[in-house]
Homo-oligomer: A and B are copies of this chain.
Amino acid sequence: MKVDSKVLQLFGRKVRMLRKQKGLSQEELAHRADLHRTYIGMIERAEKNITLINIEKVANALEITLEQLFKNEKK
């Protein structure tokens, strides 16, 4: 049951990938999610331990469910 920042790295990479798939800049995603642009950057670089409420904001901004956001995450 090892837990380290790997989950944050996987999450950040997933957010970046999905954001680019939608053709959104960090600024645009931040605006949609009502979060700060620098915060989105920190999430994508795994520099922040994001909370569930903000995870949902990001999922909503990407127009996907939480389940989809965590799909295929490797442990």
Contacts and interface: CB of A to CB of B under 8 A. Distances in A.
A52 B55 contact: yes
A57 B3 CA distance: 7
Nearest to A52: B50
Given A49-B52, A50-B52, A52-B49, A1 B60 contact: yes
Nearest to A67: B70
Interface in A1-44: 1, 3, 5, 7-8, 11, 32-34
A71 B3 CA distance: 21
B53 A3 contact: yes
Nearest to A7: B56
Given A3-B53, A3-B60, A66-B73, 6 more contacts: A3-B34, A7-B66, A50-B51, A51-B51, A52-B55, A65-B73
